[in-house]
Amino acid sequence: MNGARMGTLASLRGSIARIEAPSDATMPNRIALGHAGADAMLRGGLAPAALHEVFAAGHQSGAATGFIAGLAGRISARKPLVWVRQDFSDRENGALSMSGLAELGLDPRLLVTVRAADVDSGLRTAADALACDALGAVVLEIWGQARQLDLVASRKLTLAAQASGVTALVLRIAATAIPSTAETRWIVRAAHSPPGHAASVWGAPRFEAELVRNRHGPVGRWIMEWKCDECQFSEPSAHPQPVAAAPANRPHQAQARAGHRLAS
């Protein structure tokens, strides 16, 4: 398909989206995160074929990576994922571990990692990858305040994402937000596990996700939990680990025992 037709299609899509936008509370094609509060605020979920940014402080890289991996998992569970990383990010935050990714419920078989030497080649690779419509999502991970990732660069990424329908996720660690064309912008921190005995409990990953920018709606702040088995976000549970449900077809043990004692 040539560029002119692509451009026409994109503009048509845009006008259709504008026509449909105010009519309904939930937009079509939105990808629900699973967290009811956030989904309501985002009018149904995360917009595909757009740019989403996740920011985190330098020491919160683990949580931010988990959050963006969750977003990528929500967007494209069955389609290949391209993860573009700077070499420096590997050294600073550790490399992405495939067993860790599999533990979160994502499929390492669908991951292609690109190790870019610097920000420029990372940006160019991400823009290239976004043009390939066979992908589900493209994650661009950049460490530090990158001068190159300005309004022009994010506009390029957005246009590429709109043209191909691939979602662009940008993970910015140890960076401050500057104006961009992102659809949503999140600031992620790790959240406490639910209260419980100190040395016993260890639950699902929890994030304190703050939506600081939403192009088409209000912003908010939530504690989210990632359900590894269902591969979706959810409201935080009160218990760190699943609690066994009360048996439905069995009488209460105390009563049964009491009855037994009565009979004997």
Partner 1 sequence: MAGLSPPLRGRVGERGTTDAGVCGLPLSLTLPRKGGENPSADASLTKCNVLPSVVVAKDHNAILLHSIDEAAVRAGLSIGLPLANARAICPELTVYDADPAADLKTLNDIADWCDRFTPLVALDPPYGLFLDITGCAHLFGGERALLQIVTHALSRRGFAVSAAIAGTSIAARTLTRYTSGQIVADGAEATAVGPLPVSALGADAAVTIGLRRAGLKTIGDVAARAPHEISARFGADFTTLLGHALGRGDAPISPRKPLPDYIVEKRFPEPIATDTVIALTLSSLAKMLVAAMDRQGKGARQLEASFFRTDGAVRAIMVETGRPVTRPEMIDRLFRERLDALNDPLDPGFGFDLIRLAAGRTEIVVRQQRDLDTTVHDNDEISALIDRIAARIGGERVVVHLPLESHIPERATLALPAQHHLAAASAAAWPERVTGEPPLRPLRLFERPEPIKVPFASVPDGPPHQFTWRRALHAVVRVEGPERIAMEWWKQDGAALTRDYFRVEDAEGQRFWIFRDGLYESKLRDEEGRPVPANWYVHGLFA
Among 37, 144, 165, 203, binds partner 1 (CB under 8 A): 203
Closer CB to partner 1, residue 20 or residue 103?
Answer: 103
- Kindly calculate the radius of gyration of the chain based on its CA atoms and give it in whole angstroms: 22
CB of 83 to partner 1, least distance (A): 10
54, β-bridge pairs: 171, 186
Closer CB to partner 1, residue 78 or residue 260?
Answer: 78
3-state secondary structure at position 102: helix
231 binds partner 1 (CB under 8 A): no
CA atoms within a 13 Å half-sphere pointing along the CA-CB vector of 196:
13
Q: Which helix (H) or strand (E) holds 8?
A: helix 3-20
Q: How far apart, in whole angstroms, are the C-alpha atoms of residue 248 and residue 229?
A: 24
80 binds partner 1 (CB under 8 A): yes
241 binds partner 1 (CB under 8 A): yes
Tell me the site size for partner 1, rule CB under 8 A.
Answer: 68
Among 14, 242, 251, 259, binds partner 1 (CB under 8 A): 242
Q: How far is CA 209 from CA 15, 60, 102, in A?
A: 31, 12, 22
User: 162: left (phi > 0), else alpha (psi -120 to 50), else beta?
Assistant: alpha
Q: Which two tokens stand for residue 73?
A: 């998992």
Closer CB to partner 1, residue 84 or residue 180?
Answer: 84
User: Burial, 98: exposed, middle or buried (Cβ in 10 Å; 0-12, 13-18, 19+)?
Assistant: middle
3-state secondary structure at position 139: strand
61 binds partner 1 (CB under 8 A): yes
Q: Which two tokens stand for residue 94?
A: 């550790």
Among 45, 48, 205, 236, binds partner 1 (CB under 8 A): 205
Closer CB to partner 1, residue 153 or residue 180?
Answer: 153
Q: Provide the H-helix boundaries in 142-242.
A: 151-164
132 binds partner 1 (CB under 8 A): yes
Q: Which of 171, 168, 184 is nearest to 81 (CA)?
A: 168
Among 25-33, 117-125, 178-186, 254-262, which window interacts with partner 1 (CB under 8 A)?
Answer: 117-125
Q: Please, what's the largest Cα pairwise distance for the chain?
A: 89
Write each residue from 88 to 107 as x if it is in contact with partner 1 (CB under 8 A), else as -, in one continuous string.
Answer: --xx-xxxxxxxxxxxxx-x
Phi (first) and psi of residue 108, to 5 degrees = -65, -15
CB of 5 to partner 1, least distance (A): 18
Residue type at 148 in one-letter notation: Q
189 binds partner 1 (CB under 8 A): yes
69 binds partner 1 (CB under 8 A): yes
Among 20-28, 32-40, 45-53, 190-198, which window interacts with partner 1 (CB under 8 A)?
Answer: 190-198
Among 228, 234, 235, 237, binds partner 1 (CB under 8 A): 228
148 binds partner 1 (CB under 8 A): no
146 within 8 A of 89, measured Cβ to Cβ: no
**What does the binding site for partner 1 look like in residue numbers (CB under 8 A)?**
59-63, 65-67, 69-70, 80, 82, 90-91, 93-105, 107-117, 121, 124-125, 128-129, 132-135, 189-193, 198-199, 201-208, 226, 228-229, 240-242
